[in-house]
Structures are given as C-alpha cells and as structure tokens.
Amino acid sequence: MKFVKILLALLFAFSPLFAAEAPKNDGESIAAAILGQYNNLKSFSAKFDRVTTQNATGKKSHDNGTVMFIAPSDIRMDALMGGKMVEQIIVDSEKTSIINFEKKNVMVKKSSNEAAEYLAFLKGLDEVSKKFTIGDSTGTIEKAKKTGMVIKDGSKMLKLTPKTPNQQVKYIFITAINNEIDSVIIIDLMKNMTQFTFSDIKRNPALDKKDFKANIPTGFEVTDF
C-alpha cells in the first residue's frame, strides 16, 4: 500500500511535465509551421497580385505591385495597373497614408490597424495568436474555391478570426504550399473579398528606412479622416 501511495505521488508530481510535452493538434502544428517562420521577423518584401471582388455585384478589380515591411510596424505597398503607379500606402506606428495618383489626393488615417491586420502574418505566430483565433481550414478548400478564392492544389489553409470586433475584417484566410505563404484572403463585414497572391518573397532583406516615408506630390489634396 505504501508503494502505491509513493507511485501516485510521483505521477502527480510529474504530470505537469507530461502535459507540457503533449503533442500539438494538426491545426496548431500547421499554424506553427507556417506562421512560426515569421516570429521575430526584421523585414520582408514581396510582389503581389491583388483581386478584389464586390459581394453585392460580383464585380472584380485587379492590380499588382510590391509590399515591404520593416519591424515593428512600417509597411509600404505600391499598387500598379498597366505598369503605372495608381496607389501607394505608407504605414507607421501612428498613421496610414493612402496616396491616390489618379485622383491626386491623399487620405491620412490616424491608425495603422487596418493595413497591419491585412498583413498580420508578418508579426509571426505569437503575435497573431494574441489578436486572432487560428484554425485549420484545409478541409474546406474545395468549398472555398466555389466562393471565388483561387487556391493552388496541395495548399494548406489557415483561418484567422478576430478575437474582438473589427470594423474592417471579418476573417483572414492564409494559404500556403510546403509551409510557404502563397496568398492572403481578406473577407470584410460586407463579405467583399480581397485576395493577395504573393511571389518573390524575401524574409529579412536589406531595406532602407527612408523608403517608408510618404512623399506627397505637389498639388495633391490631403485629407485627415
């Protein structure tokens, strides 16, 4: 009897260690493999193709361009159509500047949340987990394709759901091939869909901080909102 009590005491003593080493479920493992690569990211650059689909009309718009990031929060996104710059978004820790070259205006928003959340994966698994519930949606890919999402064969897919109400984002889907991010799909509250498909991804490239300063062309109207 004494031996049994000692054995039970040892099991209880070591049970936290066993619990800590419990294997992750499939969703956690996929999230760790895809997003974990972005933990402690210092910089990032990539080319993108972007397709936005309006839920009410089904109308699509398409552009492409480049995106750059310097930790902790600086983002620059240049959008082009037909090789001509049409929009530039500059984000820092305090504001978002949106320069529209066709309309010759600039909108300055005293917040960086929207653009930062579109590219939430740049913050890595630990930071994303604080703001989003992360789930494995690989099993729903065929259904997702029917909504218009373009997802390559062999992809895995994560679903990010904001933990607190968000005025811009309802869901973010991340697709990856061989654990390398291929696209990010944003669904807003009106069920409009924006899909970024990335290429030429570089993690921790050498970038110049001065390229993240908004240079507003002469004559452009600036509006704070």
**CATH number of the domain to which 160 belongs:** 2.50.20.10
Q: Which of 44-53, 80-89, 195-204 shows the lowest mean pLDDT across its residues?
A: 80-89
Question: Is residue 93 included in any domain, yes or no?
Answer: no
Over the chain, what is the mean pLDDT? 87
pLDDT band with cut points at 50, 70 and 90 for residue 5 = very low
- ∠ CA 81-186-170, nearest 5°, is 145
More reliable by pLDDT, 16 or 139? 139
Q: Given a cut of 80, is residue 25 above it in pLDDT?
A: no
- Give the pLDDT confidence score for residue 113 in this predicted structure: 60
Q: What is the pTM of this model?
A: 0.83
Average of pLDDT values for 71-84?
A: 92
Give the number of other Cβ atoms within 10 Å of residue 152's Cβ: 12
Question: Is residue 104 included in any domain, yes or no?
Answer: no
Domains of the chain: total: 1
Q: Given a cut of 60, is residue 6 above it in pLDDT?
A: no
Supply the range of the domain harboring residue 161: 26-65+111-206
